[in-house]
Amino acid sequence: MIHALYGAVESGLIYAIMALGVYISFRILDFPDLTVDGSFVTGGAVAAVMIVGGTNPVIATLAGAIAGLLAGCVTGLLHTKGNINPLLAGILMMIALYSVNLRIMGQPNIPMLNETTLFSVLSSWWQSLHLDAIFIAPFEWIGITDFAPDTFYIIVSMIVIALIVKKLLDFFLRTEAGITLRATGDNQSMVKSFSTNTNLYIVAGMGISNALVGLSGALVVQHNGFADVNLGVGMIIIGLASVIIGEVLFGKDKIVRMTLAVILGSIVYRVIYSLALRVDFLEASDMKLITAIIVIAALVVPNMLEKSKAKRQFKKSKQAALKRKEKGEVQHASTE
Amino acid sequence: MLQLNNIHKTFYPNTPDERRALHDVSQSLEPGDFVTIIGSNGAGKSTLLNMLAGTLLPDEGDVWIDGKDVTALPEEKRAKLIGRVFQNPLSGTAPGMTIEENMMISLGRTKRRSLFKGVTKKTRERFRELLSTLEIGLENRLNSKVGLLSGGERQALSLLMATFTEPKILLLDEHTAALDPSKQSLIINLTKDLVKKHKLTTVMVTHQMEQAIDLGNRLWMMDEGSIIFEANEERKKDLTVPDLLSEFENIRGRRMASDRALLAK
Ligand SMILES: Nc1ncnc2c1ncn2[C@@H]1O[C@H](COP(=O)(O)OP(=O)(O)O)[C@@H](O)[C@H]1O
Ligand SMILES: [Mg+2]
């Protein structure tokens, strides 16, 4: 049980990078981008093919991110230059990328169990330094060695990678270019009226978003030990669920808080996922339904809360007005 | 500074919905001119400003700004030359961003954006100084979200953002219409001050005739897509609201159609 949770946290951290990408498109640019289902696999496919071909896994992983970047830029161009509605642009890219991904992979599935991946490199480096001994020490002191994971290297390295991505993103979003990108999503016509080529920012933003998605895909295939052309199905909803869970549980207005919230949201999502799998009557295949329900709930519930709050306020102000009226009349009477 | 030559614009031409928004408009402004535009609803005032800003392209005619033919220049390129404030206080600012981030965006007219720097100390000080000239305390709220400001505060900020980089032309389209009277006079006073301070060539649409007479050195009256009456500096000095109304009746042979314009005090 506890070991499944460690696995969930690991996955949560890896998929968190994808969720950060979704955060950029959906929340910052206000662009509901469905490219993600395709670009996630594109990133993974490029990395897998390169790794199988003997490329250094670091370079292969970065190449996966670049592949995602290109895909995102194309979606951005379809929308800005081609005047295609954002949803449709994303769907078109998602469909197109399915074929592209198959072309890249040459086959629907690429096993890479015995390849040199980022994680196998990290693992041997980790073991050679005997780092697990350090991390397991606290568990030994408390006497809960049974609750310790078999090895810490994935969790620790993924925390480091996720935090690096987060920090870079935080930095970028507060630069002049990053501020302009955010403002473009907030009020595009205003940014345009200050002589800014907003199309350029939308294309770049979509590129950055899908670069993160591709990077996440590249890490996932190495973590899984295989690449599969269907790996991306429903990815956008998983990303969205993570963003929404993060916003609801940990969200704050500040950018640094939001990016952290998205990462935590992704981890919470994976924990829910692994718990749901342990419920007897649920099957792994039900997870997409559950994910959809999470997203629907997260979209609907705040709206309903807002409405009932507004209703209450309306009633309150009406009552207050009535009271004032009564008082006013009383005062009126007394002055007469 | 600004020149319009035989501008025509018709929406949905050759359909039952055909709308002639501008008909053969020719005008020019000297540097520092401040023209106010009045006219009934649908007279074509906003369309004219959209032509200047490049949001709409004319069917015929050309637009010159600062000695350059900008007719074909797309909106965002032309925006280098133009500052704009809209009627809706929500249009001119980004609500989800802070005051200083909004100010940062307005610098876009004058400089390229850096990938490596955010709002520096020096820029922040400059913003603080500029904001303090508005005298509504925004200089102490640099990190507040603009969405939390009142309509008047947002419009004051929009006005500052549109002017401090000193555009060649300032376009104001009923920028006080959505505010309550006390805020209106605040914004009008700010408009006077900022236009004077930066010596801006200004085109301002208003539905209040008094405002139109009070501000600026020139006045255009529009109806059905044409400028039917104009007052130069000399004429404008002793112009009154009744004068304007009777001018309209003389020219058009009917009374001005907009109740808003009639009722405006
Ligand atoms: N984008 C548009 N599409 C179609 N018709 C328009 C558009 N903008 C303005 N019009 C029409 O052009 C005419 C002039 O409108 P406008 O310039 O907005 O008037 P004003 O600002 O003087 O009230 C009106 O008949 C209006 O309906
Ligand atoms: Mg108008």
Q: Which domain holds residue A24?
A: 2-278
**Which domains can be identified in chain B, with CATH numbers?**
2-94+166-263 (3.40.50.300)
Q: Which of B79, B97, B116 has its CB closest to that of A175? A: B116
Residue with tokens 């280098």: B80
Instruction: Please report the pLDDT score of residue A328 as a whole number.
Output: 62
Instruction: Please report the pLDDT score of residue B109 as a whole number.
Output: 82
The residue of chain A nearest to residue B107, with distances taken between CA atoms, is A194
Residue range A140-165: average pLDDT?
Answer: 88
Contact list, A198 vs chain B (CB under 8 Å): 76
Q: Is the CB of B46 under 6 A from ligand 1?
A: yes
Confidence of residue A336 (pLDDT cuts 50, 70, 90): very low
The answer as to whether A117 is a domain residue is yes
Rounded CA gap, A281 and B99, in Å? Answer: 53
Instruction: Please report the pLDDT score of residue A8 as a whole number.
Output: 93
Does the predicted TM-score (pTM) go above 0.90? Answer: no
Q: Is the ipTM reported for this complex over the cut 0.90?
A: no
Residues B156-168: b if buried by 16+ CB within 10 A, e if exposed: bbbbbbbbbbebb
Interface of B with A (CB under 8 A): 53, 75-80, 82, 84, 90-97, 101-102, 104-109, 113-119, 145, 161
Instruction: Please report the pLDDT score of residue B241 as a whole number.
Output: 87
Rg of the Cα atoms in chain B? 19
Contact list, A193 vs chain B (CB under 8 Å): 53, 75, 79, 82, 84, 92
| Dist. CA B11 → ligand 2 center (Å) | 15
The answer as to whether A294 is a domain residue is no
Instruction: Please report the pLDDT score of residue A151 as a whole number.
Output: 82
Whether residue B257 is predicted with pLDDT greater than 70 in this model: the reply is no
Residue with tokens 């409405």: A307
Q: Is the CB of B41 under 6 A from ligand 1?
A: yes
The residues near A87 (Cβ < 8 Å, ≥ 6 apart) are A32, A34
Whether residue B31 is predicted with pLDDT greater than 90 in this model: the reply is yes
Q: Over the stretch B33-88, which tens digit does the pLDDT of each residue have?
A: 999 999 988 999 999 999 999 999 999 999 999 999 999 998 888 999 999 999 99
CATH number assigned to the domain comprising residue A15: 1.10.3470
The answer as to whether A318 is a domain residue is no
Instruction: Please report the pLDDT score of residue A141 as a whole number.
Output: 84
**Which percentage of chain B shows pLDDT scores above 90?**
73
The answer as to whether A324 is a domain residue is no
The number of distinct structural domains making up chain A is 1
Q: Do A179 and B105 touch (CB under 8 A)?
A: yes
Q: Which of A172, A180, A195 has its CB closest to that of B76? A: A195
Q: What is the mean pLDDT of chain B?
A: 90
Rg of the Cα atoms in chain A? 24
Instruction: Please report the pLDDT score of residue A334 as a whole number.
Output: 43
Yes or no: say if B100 and B139 are a contact pair by the CB < 8 Å rule: no
Highest mean pLDDT among A13-17, A130-134, A191-195, B132-136: A13-17
Strand locations in chain A (E): 109-111, 226-228
The residue whose CA is least distant from atom 4 of ligand 1 is B11
Residue range B197-221: average pLDDT?
Answer: 93
SS3 call for B234: helix
Residue B171, strand partner residues: B84, B203
The answer as to whether A116 is a domain residue is yes
Instruction: Give me the phi and psi of A216, to 5 degrees please.
Output: -60, -45
Determine the atom of ligand 1 nearest the C-alpha atom of B43: 22
| Dist. CA B101 → ligand 2 center (Å) | 29
- A302-311, B3-12, B165-174: least confident range: A302-311
Confidence of residue B26 (pLDDT cuts 50, 70, 90): very high
Instruction: Please report the pLDDT score of residue B265 as a whole number.
Output: 40
Contact list, A176 vs chain B (CB under 8 Å): 104, 113-115, 117-119
Q: Is the CB of B43 under 6 A from ligand 1?
A: yes
Cα separations (Å) of A49 from A45, A62, B97, B140?
6, 13, 42, 55
Contact list, A251 vs chain B (CB under 8 Å): none
Whether residue B116 is predicted with pLDDT greater than 60 in this model: the reply is yes
Q: Do B93 and A179 touch (CB under 8 A)?
A: no
Mutate to test the pocket of ligand 1, among B19, B59, B259 (most ligand atoms within 8 A of CB): B19
The answer as to whether A312 is a domain residue is no
**Which percentage of chain A shows pLDDT scores above 90?**
66
Residue range A10-31: average pLDDT?
Answer: 96
Confidence of residue A136 (pLDDT cuts 50, 70, 90): confident
Whether residue A127 is predicted with pLDDT greater than 60 in this model: the reply is yes
Residue range A230-239: average pLDDT?
Answer: 93
The residue whose CA is least distant from atom 9 of ligand 1 is B47
Q: Over the stretch A68-101, which tens digit does the pLDDT of each residue have?
A: 999 999 999 999 999 999 999 999 999 999 999 9
Q: What is the mean pLDDT of chain A?
A: 90
Contact list, B107 vs chain A (CB under 8 Å): 194
The answer as to whether A185 is a domain residue is yes
User: Which of these, A183, A175, A5, A315, lies nearest to B120 by C-alpha position?
Assistant: A175
- A300-314, B123-137, B190-204, B226-240: least confident range: A300-314
The residue of chain B nearest to residue A168, with distances taken between CA atoms, is B116
Q: Which of B76, B78, B115 has its CB closest to that of A196? A: B76
Q: Is the CB of B45 under 6 A from ligand 1?
A: yes
Strand locations in B100-236 (E): 169-173, 201-205, 218-223, 226-231
The answer as to whether A293 is a domain residue is no
- A263-267, A314-318, A331-335, B209-213: least confident range: A331-335
Residue range B187-208: average pLDDT?
Answer: 95
